Copies of this chain bind each other. A is one copy, B any other.
Amino acid sequence: MKIALAQLNFVIGDFEGNYTKMAKAVTQAKKLQADIICFPELAVTGYPPRDFLEFKNFVQGAIDTVDKLALLADDIAIVVGAPSINPIVEGKDLYNSAYFLAEKSIKHITHKALLPTYDIFDEYRYFEPATSFSTVTYKGKKIALSICEDIWNIKNENPLYTICPLDEVADEKPDFIINISASPFSFNHAEARLKIVQENAKRYHAPLFYVNHVGAQTEIIFAGGSVVANQNGDIYEEMVFFEEQLQVFDLEDIIKSKRNKIQKKNKIELIYRALVTGLSDYFQKLGFKKAILGLSGGIDSAIVAVLASDALGADNVRCILMPSQYSSDHSINDARILAENLGCQYDIVPIESVYNGFMGELDIHFSGLPFSLAEENLQARIRGTLLMAFSNKFGNILLNTSNKSEAAVGYGTLYGDMNGGLSVIGDLYKTEVFKLAHYINREKEIIPNNTIVKPPSAELRPDQKDSDSLPDYDILDAILFEYIENQKGPQEIENLGFDPKLVARILRMVNRNEFKRYQMPPVLRVSDKAFGMGRRMPIVGRYLS
Contact = CB atoms under 8 A, between A and B. Distances in A.
Contacts of A92: 160
Given A50-B536, A361-B354, A541 B12 contact: yes
Interface string A365-399: 11001001110011001101110111011000000
Contacts of A543: 12-14, 52, 58, 61
B415 A392 contact: no
A49 interface: yes
Interface string A528-545: 000001011111111111
A48 B541 CA distance: 10
Contacts of A382: 385
Given A365-B349, A489-B57, A542-B285, A537 B389 contact: no
A519 interface: yes
Contacts of A60: 489
A369 B388 contact: no
B487 A54 contact: yes
A140 to B, nearest CB: 37
Interface stretch (A117-125, A244-252, A455-463): A117-125
B515 A518 contact: no
Contacts of A281: 540
Contacts of A117: 117, 122, 124-125
A505 to B, nearest CB: 17
Q: How big is the A interface, by class?
A: 35 or more
Contact of A541 (B52, B160, B216, B378): B52
Interface in A69-98: 89-93
Contact of A91 (B54, B162, B421): B162
Contact of A519 (B361, B374, B520, B535): B520
Interface in A389-448: 389-390, 392-393, 414-415, 419, 421
Interface in A102-135: 117-118, 122, 124-125
A541 B390 CA distance: 25
Contacts of A125: 117-118, 122, 124, 536
Residue of A55, A388, A393, A540 ringed by the most chain B CB atoms within 10 A: A540
Interface string A152-184: 000010011110000000000000000000000
Contacts of A52: 537-538, 541, 543
Interface in A25-81: 46, 48-52, 54-58, 60-61
Copies in the complex: 2
Interface in A213-247: 216-218
A210 interface: no
A539 B487 CA distance: 28
A89 to B, nearest CB: 5
B372 A13 contact: no
A325 interface: no
Contacts of A162: 90-91
A350 interface: yes
B57 A421 contact: no
A522 interface: yes
A377 B161 CA distance: 50
A522 B533 contact: no
Given A13-B543, A217-B538, A90 B156 contact: yes
Report the 3 A-B pairs with minimum CB-CB distance, sorted nearest first. A57-B489, A13-B543, A357-B357
Given A52-B538, A378-B388, 10 more contacts: A51-B535, A117-B117, A281-B540, A354-B354, A354-B361, A356-B357, A372-B393, A378-B392, A518-B522, A519-B519
